[in-house]
Amino acid sequence: MGNELFRDAPRDSAVLPSNDTLFIDSSGERMFGRILLPALAEETERCPVILMTHGFPGNEKNYDLAQLFRMAGFAAVCFSYRGVWGSHGFYSLSHLVEDTLAAAACIRGLPRSMRVDTERLYVFGHSMGGFALVNAMAAGLRTKGVFLLSPCDFGEVYLRDRERFQSLNSLSRSGYFHLESEDIFERELHTHAGEWRFLSAAEKLDLSVPYRFIGGTRDESTPPDRHILPLAQALRRKGASVDYLELDDSHDYPASRFRVAEYVVEQIRAMERR
């Protein structure tokens, strides 16, 4: 792929690119985030913003994609959920949803001086970040467009694939997370797995929003036929705008970074023209 979409900012830009720390309040606890702001040609210009949610436990945060989105003219917000990577409080699955809603609310409240158009909010979730986004949208998160990269249907995993669930659950003893208890995932899913399944959450999703899915043929963590495609097909049957890009790659897409970024950028530009 060429680099026509991704270039360093001209030095004569009216507003040069920058990075800023975000402190995000979620139920009284502080989460840490970063906002990457693009170069702008005019002082009065305002740019769209992409909220990015990372996976479980968050070794891959997709900061390289955030930088590419910034180079293409979008602001990008990355943050760490409560109880992981330095953010305060306890980590839990229900907190993933609450924290995603809190991050979106923080973006909506950004001052005009940051030159972000908070009404042009897009969301990008990878793996467990996809789980967080789907359920945050079912809980009322408003967005102009949704991008899910190998989203993990953790409710379905708990109900249908106990071996995979136990493998993921073993990370509760890894030291990555600050947990209220080591059995928190089991307890939460025992209560909420049915409502958190993608097909259940889909009943509450906004069908006027475009949904864009990316899956990997070599993805053994969240195989598309079990995680992405059932949701994509359900939304398409309901009349939503759905597109699916399948790449010959594994769960973290190490061989397709530019292609993933290119797809998101091209799709957002098309959505901006609607």
DSSP state of 101: H
- pLDDT attached to residue 6: 87
- pLDDT beneath 70: ranges in the chain: 1-3
Rounded CA separation 201/83 (Å): 25
Q: Are 197 and 156 in contact (CB under 8 A)?
A: yes
- Parallel, antiparallel, or unpaired: how do β-strands 211-216 and 145-149 relate? parallel
Radius of gyration of the chain (CA): 18
Q: Is residue 23 left, alpha or beta, with left meaning phi > 0 and alpha meaning psi from -120 to 50?
A: beta
| Number of other CB atoms surrounding residue 167 within 10 Å | 12
| Number of other CB atoms surrounding residue 245 within 10 Å | 17
- pLDDT attached to residue 3: 64
- Parallel, antiparallel, or unpaired: how do β-strands 75-79 and 29-37 relate? antiparallel
Rounded CA separation 6/73 (Å): 9
- Parallel, antiparallel, or unpaired: how do β-strands 211-216 and 29-37 relate? unpaired
Rounded CA separation 254/25 (Å): 32
Q: Where are the beta strands (DSSP E) in 127-228?
A: 145-149, 211-216
Q: Which residue segments constitute the domains of the chain, with CATH numbers given?
A: 18-272 (3.40.50.1820)
- For the stretch 156-178, pLDDT in tens is 999 999 888 998 889 888 899 99
End-to-end alpha carbon distance in the chain: 26
